[in-house]
Every structure is written in structure tokens, then in C-alpha cells.
């Protein structure tokens, strides 16, 4: 079976979605749409429309939604009403009520919808999660992420928490396999916009793991790091390069009893794993395809996207109030 897919939104992300959709097996990009035109010449010979209705009428089975966040709800509801599967870019919607309406609509329609939390499909994080689940790190103590870089002019309708921080919130809960229990945040508004451009988040997952996220649009270099520390050492995933490194706790023998009774850690072997570096967006689209076909369930569901948005909104609220927020 070949799935006929339409793409709405032909901006920076849309052009990458189009490229991948044309490369993978089992899907056919049959139509594209954007009310603002085609600035990156994505359409080519593919029929182009100026609305989601055009895509629907083109006979699609599913659609990728890569428009600004404020339009996710409107377009998603139309796709659900038409009985079309959807992959909606993150965050799932501009606020929680909109996300809840989307979840309800797709559930009622009986079609599948996913959210584009692409970091789950990064080879470094996929390998990290598997190794942690296997117990290779022992007890996990902390997940720390850093996601920093210059301000992207394309983002106008949400702040850094929902645009970038949602990646870290989702991947942390996924890697640690536990939801957030409590969260506290500090935010700043340095660039003169109504939305926050820097956030420092601390929190706790329901399994007791500490979390820390540093996210901003004010750093003149790009950084995407996830550090997971546990009793046997630490994993460091660089999702820009898809590298995963393991820093093992060393053992140090000593005849000095006062030293050996202190149960600290020391530097041990450092291992960078050899990983198959497949493009995360390609992995994401293949997971979406397979979810539609019912052959595997690794795509990020709308309900998972809603829970990530819930934590993101709690972080924004905490930044404004200065108070910690309980989530569970």
C-alpha cells in the first residue's frame, strides 16, 4: 500500500519534509499547499494549492502540517473532519485547550495523528534510551539538557519554551520513561518580544529523577546536548552530530582508609559509540507511515504532545509567577 500524503506549509521545515517524503518508500507526495506561496521552490511538478481544503480534495490519505503553531488547531480539525491522518509539527498547538480539541477530534474520527518531536528519532538519543532501559547506567540521577542558539526570525507566534524547550521536555520524559511531577522556571524577555527568549527549568520526574533545562535564543552558537548522569557514569548525547559518549565512573584503590570510605566517583573510561547516523526526520516519517499501516507504534502521539505542552505551559507560568508548579 502506498500512502498518498499532502504537505501544508512550505517554509524552512516544510522544504525538509517535502524532501524526505520524496525519498522514503511506501508514501507518495501528491500535493502541497501554502497560502503564502512557495519561497523555496518545494512544489516542483507536484500540484500546489493555497489551502488545506485543496489538499483534501486532491485525494490524500494523510497530511504533514508544517505551518506556524497558531494555525495547527484550525488545519488539524479540518483534516480530522475529513478523516485524514496527520503529522503535526511541534508544539502540537498554541495552547492546551486547542491541543485537547485536536486530540478529541482525531480520536472521534478514528484516524491517526502524530506530533513532530523529532529528537526522539535522533540516533544518539535512541541509543541512549535503549542503554538506560537495559540498566547500563544503573540508577539514573539526573537529566540535564542545553539547547541554545541565535534567534530564528521565522518564529513569531510562540516563545522559546514551546518552540525549543518542548524538545527537551519531550525527550527527557521519553528517555527517562516517566512524566514530570514538579517544575520551576526562570524566564527572560531580552529581545523586545511578547514571548520569552531564555529559560532555565528545574524539575523532578515521578520516578525521582532530577531534570534541568537551559534553553535560549540569545547565544551566538548552536548547542544541543543531553547529559544523563547515573550511578555508573554519564551519557552525553550531542544531537547536532548524533554522537553518544559514555563517561564511565572509574575505581581508585587506595591504602588511605579515610579516602576509600568516601563513596565518590573518579574519571574512568570514555567511549564514543559507533552509531548508524540516519537522518532523524527520515526516521520520524517512517514511524508515521508505519503507525498508519499499524505495523509499529513509535510515532509520538497527539496525547503525548499534549502532555509535553502541559509541562511547557507550566514552565512559562512558573517563570511569570516565581512559584513551583505541581503537575501530578
The pTM assigned to this predicted structure is 0.93
Task: Work out the pLDDT band at 192, boundaries 50, 70, 90.
Answer: confident
Which set of grid coordinates corresponds to residue 147?
539547547
Give the chain's domain count.
2
Quick one: CA torsion of 268, 269, 272, 273, rounded to 10 degrees?
A: -120
**Same-domain status, 255 and 288:** no
Residue-level pLDDT at 292: 98
Cβ proximity of 73 and 96 under 8 Å: no
Q: Pick the more confident residue, 174 or 259.
A: 174
**Same-domain status, 78 and 205:** no
**Same-domain status, 170 and 210:** yes
What average pLDDT score do residues 5-29 get?
Answer: 97
**Same-domain status, 269 and 150:** yes
Domain harbouring 265, CATH code: 3.30.360.10
Residue-level pLDDT at 258: 54
Task: Work out the pLDDT band at 263, boundaries 50, 70, 90.
Answer: low
Host H or E run for residue 161 = none
Query: Could you give the CA distance from residue 90 to residue 169 in angstroms, rounded to a whole number?
Result: 12
DSSP 253-320: --S-HHHHTS---EEEEEEE-------HHHHHHHHHHHHHHTS---SPBHHHHHHHHHHHHHHHHHHH
Strands (DSSP E) along 59-216, which ranges?
62-65, 85-89, 113-116, 140-148, 180-188, 198-205, 210-216
CA atoms within 13 A on the CB side of 306: 14
Cβ proximity of 165 and 190 under 8 Å: no
pLDDT at 48 over 80: yes
**Phi and psi, residue 265, nearest 5°:** -125, 165
Host H or E run for residue 18 = helix 12-23
**Same-domain status, 114 and 223:** no
Spell 250-287 as b/e; 16+ CB within 10 A means b: eeeeeeeeeeeeeeebeeeeeeeeeeeeebbbbbbbbb
Instruction: Report the range of poorest mean pLDDT among 9-23, 55-69, 129-143, 241-255.
Output: 241-255
**Same-domain status, 179 and 294:** no
DSSP 58-103: TT-SEEEE-S-GGGHHHHHHHHHHTT-EEEEESSS-SSHHHHHHHH
**Same-domain status, 103 and 198:** no
Residue-level pLDDT at 267: 80
Residue-level pLDDT at 193: 83
**Same-domain status, 154 and 108:** no
What average pLDDT score do residues 173-193 get?
Answer: 95
Residue-level pLDDT at 268: 84
Over residues 217-246, the pLDDT tens digits come to 999 999 999 999 999 999 999 999 999 999
Mean pLDDT estimate for the chain: 94
**Same-domain status, 24 and 76:** yes
Task: Work out the pLDDT band at 262, boundaries 50, 70, 90.
Answer: low
pLDDT at 252 over 60: no
Over residues 90-102, the pLDDT tens digits come to 999 999 999 999 9
What average pLDDT score do residues 277-284 get?
Answer: 97
**Same-domain status, 39 and 153:** no
Q: Tell me which residue of 27, 25, 152 sits closest to 7, measured CA to CA.
A: 27
Over residues 111-161, the pLDDT tens digits come to 999 999 999 999 999 999 999 999 999 999 999 999 999 987 766 678 999
pLDDT at 286 over 90: yes
Cβ proximity of 73 and 103 under 8 Å: no
High-pLDDT (> 90) share of the chain, %: 89
Domain harbouring 288, CATH code: 3.40.50.720
Residue-level pLDDT at 85: 98
Instruction: Report the range of poorest mean pLDDT among 36-45, 52-61, 129-138, 151-160.
Output: 151-160
Residue-level pLDDT at 265: 74
pLDDT at 1 over 90: no
**Residue 9: helix, strand or coil by DSSP?**
coil
Range of the domain at 148: 120-277+308-326
**Same-domain status, 271 and 241:** yes
**Same-domain status, 316 and 176:** yes
Amino acid at each position: 500500500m502506498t500512502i498518498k500524503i499532502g504537505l501544508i506549509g512550505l517554509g524552512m521545515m516544510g522544504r525538509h519534509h517535502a524532501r524526505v517524503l520524496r525519498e522514503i518508500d511506501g508514501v507518495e507526495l501528491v500535493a502541497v499547499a501554502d497560502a503564502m506561496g512557495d519561497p523555496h521552490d518545494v512544489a516542483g511538478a507536484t500540484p500546489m494549492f493555497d489551502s488545506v481544503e485543496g489538499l483534501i480534495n486532491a485525494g490524500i490519505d494523510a497530511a504533514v502540517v508544517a505551518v506556524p503553531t497558531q494555525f495547527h488547531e484550525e488545519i488539524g480539525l479540518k483534516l480530522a473532519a475529513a478523516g485524514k491522518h496527520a503529522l503535526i509539527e511541534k508544539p502540537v498547538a498554541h495552547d492546551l485547550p486547542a491541543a485537547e480539541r485536536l486530540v478529541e477530534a482525531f480520536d472521534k474520527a478514528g484516524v491517526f495523528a502524530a506530533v513532530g518531536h523529532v529528537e526522539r528519532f535522533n540516533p544518539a538519543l535512541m541509543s541512549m534510551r535503549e542503554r538506560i532501559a537495559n540498566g547500563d547506567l544503573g540508577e539514573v540521577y539526573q537529566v540535564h539538557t542545553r539547547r541554545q542558539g541565535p534567534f530564528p526570525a521565522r518564529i513569531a507566534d510562540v516563545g522559546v519554551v514551546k518552540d525549543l524547550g518542548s524538545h527537551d521536555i519531550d525527550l527527557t520524559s521519553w528517555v527517562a520513561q516517566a512524566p514530570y511531577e514538579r517544575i520551576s522556571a526562570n524566564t527572560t524577555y531580552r529581545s523586545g518580544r511578547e514571548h520569552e527568549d531564555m529559560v532555565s527549568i528545574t524539575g523532578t520526574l515521578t520516578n525521582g529523577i532530577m531534570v534541568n533545562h537551559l534553553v535560549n535564543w540569545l547565544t551566538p552558537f548552536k548547542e544541543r546536548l543531553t547529559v544523563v548522569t547515573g550511578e555508573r557514569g554519564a551519557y552525553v548525547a550531542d544531537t547536532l552530530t548524533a554522537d553518544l559518549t559514555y563517561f564511565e565512573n572509574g575505581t581508585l584503590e587506595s591504602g588511605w582508609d579515610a579516602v576509600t570510605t568516601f563513596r565518590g566517583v573518579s574519571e574512568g573510561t570514555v567511549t564514543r559509540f559507533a552509531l548508524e547516523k540516519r537522518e532523524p526526520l527520515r526516521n520520524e516519517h517512517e514511524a508515521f507511515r508505519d503507525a498508519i499501516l499499524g505495523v509499529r507504534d513509535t510515532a509520538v502521539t497527539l496525547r503525548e504532545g499534549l502532555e509535553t505542552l502541559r509541562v511547557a505551559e507550566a514552565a512559562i507560568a512558573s517563570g511569570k509567577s516565581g512559584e513551583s508548579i505541581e503537575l501530578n
